[in-house]
């Protein structure tokens, strides 16, 4: 006999997004299936920003800030690609 599948489980397309913000620009940097992995990625990205803090200050470039939010798969832009952790150093944020 086949076990029934809960429709709420089958349709749950909620992911956890690490969202990068710089000024008025906000981008989904990376997505994860669980919040713990998203928090770990957020911490790693923040550590990378701290490592280049003096460079950012001397080049007068704003540092991105990161946040973790739930996101639905349908909310991702069609051509979405992960944002490199140090992409902001090469002007690849926008």
Q: How far apart are CA 16 and CA 48, in angstroms?
A: 20
Instruction: Provide the strand spans (E) within 1-94.
Output: 14-22, 25-32, 65-72
CB 68 within 8 A of CB 38: yes
Tokens representing residue 86 in the block: 């140090």
The pLDDT score that the predictor gives to residue 35 is 95
User: How do residues 69-89 score in pLDDT, each as one tens digit?
Assistant: 999 988 988 888 888 877 666
What pLDDT does 58 receive?
A: 84
6-49 per-position pLDDT tens digit: 445 445 678 999 999 888 888 899 999 999 999 999 999 999 88
- Contact assessment for residue 51 and residue 40, using Cβ atoms and an 8 Å cutoff: no
Report whether 62 contacts 22 (CB < 8 A): yes
């Amino acid at each position: 006999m086949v076990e029934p599948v809960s429709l709420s489980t089958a349709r749950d397309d909620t992911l956890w997004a690490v969202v990068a913000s710089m000024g008025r620009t906000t981008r989904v940097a990376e997505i994860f299936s669980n919040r713990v992995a998203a928090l770990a990625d957020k911490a790693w990205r923040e550590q990378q920003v701290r490592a280049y803090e003096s460079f950012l200050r001397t080049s007068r470039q704003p540092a991105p800030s990161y946040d973790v939010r739930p996101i639905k798969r349908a909310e991702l832009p069609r051509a979405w690609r992960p944002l490199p952790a140090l992409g902001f150093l090469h002007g690849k944020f926008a």
